[in-house]
Amino acid sequence: MPARRHPTARQVRLGAELRKLREAAGLKATEAASLLGVNSVQMSQIESGISGVSEQRVRRLAANYACADDGLIDVLVAMATDRTRGWWEEYRGSLPVAYQDLAELDHHATFRHDVAVIHVPGLFQTAEYARALFAYMNPEFPDDEVELRVDHRMKRKVVIERPDPMPYETVIHEAALRIKVAGRAVTRAQLERILEMSEADHVTVRVIPFALDDFAGAGSTMVHVGGAVPRLDTVVRDAPHGTAFVDSEAQLEHFRKLFRKVKAGSLPPGRSRDLVHQLAKEV
């Protein structure tokens, strides 16, 4: 298969998982290459996502790696043969690659857990709220650049609004609900949007109140996206250089524990809705 100039995060993840299986089997890249009848450079490109790989080759590698996890193998095959060109492709070349990667990640997700401390989660944001955020955080952007980002963010909400919505659970700190990123009308509309979505069967909203003792998680903002199998979960973190995708098992387990800890300290859904409703009345 021809080499890709810009592999997506999903394609890179497939290659990384194949590399993990090889390393667990104790094989060198040159040995794996010989199994496929390719050279070491081509094998490196497969494991970095630069080159695609066929279903036959994925299954051959898995068999020689003595991988007995049929569920994982089937998912890797699905990733290798996926030819989905979603709505996010129209933004390729217009927005940073991370925007497309995030939309594709959500598209294939089995669930999503968010922890939001400063801002309302993106999947809940109204257009006016998102516009204020983008304009403030990127003051050098012209209006049309801001609108492009707002439009992309609004379309990403399809995963919780479509007929077969993704299960979504979010923990939001009271600070994010109180901070007025724009005027009172925008703030009120944003809180009403959260209340509306919290009534959906597939959505769970919990709030961390200011009154909570022993909350040291101000830096705990995170997104945990479920893969088709737990091994393929992904955590998305904001990093100084941009968006970071975390997929090592040790780190995934760390963030699973962190989410459970933050969730345990939050208000139950009913009391959370009551607090959001109270804040909406106060605005």
The confidence score (pLDDT) of residue 252 equals 95
The residue among 219 and 238 whose pLDDT is bigger is 238
Domain containing 273 — which CATH number?
A: 3.30.870
How many Å apart are CA 55 and CA 76, to the nearest integer? Answer: 9
pLDDT band at 141; cut points 50, 70, 90: confident
Helix (H) or strand (E) holding 139: none
pLDDT at residue 203 greater than cutoff 90: yes
Q: Are 80 and 12 in contact (CB under 8 A)?
A: no
First-residue to last-residue Cα distance in the chain? 57
Same domain? For 208 and 267 the reply is yes
Distance CA 5, CA 178 (A): 44
Helical pair 70-81 and 55-64, crossing angle rounded to 10 deg: 150
Task: Decide if pLDDT at 138 tops 90.
Answer: no
Q: Which two tokens stand for residue 281?
A: 């009345």
If asked whether residues 237 and 101 sit together in one domain, one would say yes
Q: What are phi and psi of 110, to 5 degrees?
A: -95, -20
Q: State residue 243's pLDDT score.
A: 84
Pair (250, 192) in one structural domain: yes
Tally of structural domains, the chain: 2
Assigned domain for 187 exists:
yes
Instruction: Please tell me whether residues 255 and 187 are part of one structural domain.
Output: yes
What is the DSSP-derived secondary structure letter of residue 3? Answer: B
pLDDT at 84: 84
pLDDT for res 220: 67
Mean pLDDT score of the chain: 93
Average pLDDT over residues 47-51: 95
Please give the model's pTM, rounded to 2 decimal places: 0.92
Q: CA-to-CA distance for 26 and 38, rounded, in angstroms? A: 19
Both 243 and 222 in one domain: the answer is: yes
pLDDT (average), residues 156-162: 97
Q: State the number of CA atoms in the 13 A half-sphere of 217 facing the CB.
A: 28
Q: Rounded distance, CA 22 to CA 32, Å?
A: 7
Residue 3 belongs to a domain: no
Instruction: Note whether 88 and 97 are within 8 A (CB).
Output: no
86 domain residue, yes or no? no
Continuous H helices in the chain: 9-25, 29-36, 40-47, 55-64, 70-81, 97-107, 127-137, 143-156, 158-161, 174-178, 184-198, 249-264, 269-282
The pLDDT value recorded for residue 267 is: 96
DSSP 168: E
Beta bridge partners of 206: 171
Among 56, 81, 106, give the residue marking a domain's end: 81
Say whether both 49 and 143 belong to one domain. Answer: no
Q: CA 62, 112, 165 angle in degrees (round to 5)?
A: 100
pLDDT above 80 (res 197): yes
CB 92: neighbour CB atoms within 10 A? 13
Same domain membership, residue 269 and residue 180: yes
Mean pLDDT within 45-55? 95
Determine the Cα–Cα distance for residues 268 and 27; give it in Å rounded to an integer: 49
Output the pLDDT for position 140. 86
- Res 78: pLDDT: 96
Clarify whether residues 145 and 235 are in a common domain. Answer: yes
Query: Is 63 domain-assigned?
Result: yes
In the numeric block, the tokens 């012209």 are attached to 142
pLDDT tens digits, 244-254: 899 999 999 99
Contact yes or no for 118/208 (Cβ under 8 A): no
Q: What is the CATH number of the domain that holds 13?
A: 1.10.260.40
The last residue of a domain, from among 36, 62, 81: 81
Q: With the CA atoms of 99, 103, 109 and 111 taken in that order, what torsion angle do they form, in degrees rounded to the nearest 10?
A: 80
Q: CA dist 261 to 220, 254, 255, 264, 266, Å?
A: 11, 11, 10, 5, 9
Q: Determine the pLDDT at residue 42.
A: 94
pLDDT band at 1 (very low <50, low <70, confident <90, very high): low
Backbone angles phi, psi at 205, to 5 degrees: -115, 125
Residues 239 and 150 reside in one and the same domain: yes
- 43/179 same-domain check: no
User: What pLDDT score does 2 carry?
Assistant: 62
- Residue 143 lies inside a defined structural domain of this protein: yes
Q: How would residue 226 be classed by pLDDT, with cut points 50, 70 and 90?
A: very high
pLDDT for residue 43 = 96
Instruction: State the residue range of the domain holding 30.
Output: 9-81
Please report which confidence band the pLDDT of residue 31 belongs to, taking 50, 70 and 90 as the band edges.
Answer: very high
Does residue 75 surpass a pLDDT of 70?
yes
The answer to whether residues 229 and 95 belong to one domain is yes
